[in-house]
């Protein structure tokens, strides 16, 4: 199954990347297209939104019989940007992953392959980077 996932992610990225400058903000597009391709191959797949209820959306996929593959080919948008501070998050999500060896492996796989085979608490580590800043309440 991993070979099929690798093929589908690569195919979708290689078709789109020459036509766009960046994959930032295209998570729904990729998740939807990859999901459709995997379903045609009869690979179980579900699409999820990280939405914290604060108007932020980021789509990713879990695929496989035990949902053992995390697919997020647009994760590069969460890398630290030169001379920028994260607006919505406490830190850039990729910076959070870089703090642990396991997080570095997840980050490397997402950036290089667009997917990661989940083991143990990998999914919780992935989600840990998406902690939103506290918002001030206005009266």
Q: Which of 21, 102, 36, 120 is nearest to 71 (CA)?
A: 36
Encode pLDDT of 6-45 as tens digits.
Answer: 999 999 999 987 788 888 889 999 999 999 999 999 999 9
Residues in a beta bridge with 114:
none
pLDDT at position 138 is 39
Digit-coded pLDDT (tens) for 43-53:
999 999 987 56
| C-alpha span between 133 and 88 (Å, rounded) | 6
User: Using one digit for the tens of pLDDT, what is the confidence trace for 98-111?
Assistant: 999 999 999 999 99
Angle CA(20)–CA(23)–CA(24) in degrees, nearest 5?
A: 120
Q: What is the pLDDT of residues 72-99, one digit of tens each?
A: 999 999 999 888 888 788 899 999 999 9
Put simply, whether the predicted model's pTM sits higher than 0.75 gets the answer yes
């Amino acid at each position: 199954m991993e070979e099929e996932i690798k093929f589908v992610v690569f195919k979708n990225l290689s078709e789109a990347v020459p036509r766009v400058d960046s994959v930032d903000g295209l998570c729904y597009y990729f998740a939807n297209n990859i999901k459709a391709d995997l379903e045609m191959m009869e690979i179980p797949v579900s699409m999820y939104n990280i939405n914290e209820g604060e108007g932020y959306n980021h789509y990713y996929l879990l695929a496989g019989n035990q949902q053992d593959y995390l697919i997020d080919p647009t994760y590069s948008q969460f890398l630290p940007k030169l001379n920028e501070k994260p607006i919505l998050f406490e830190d850039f999500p990729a910076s959070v992953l870089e703090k642990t060896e396991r997080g570095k492996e997840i980050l490397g796989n997402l950036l290089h392959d667009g997917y990661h085979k989940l083991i143990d608490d990998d999914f919780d580590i992935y989600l840990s980077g998406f902690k939103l800043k506290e918002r001030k309440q206005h009266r």
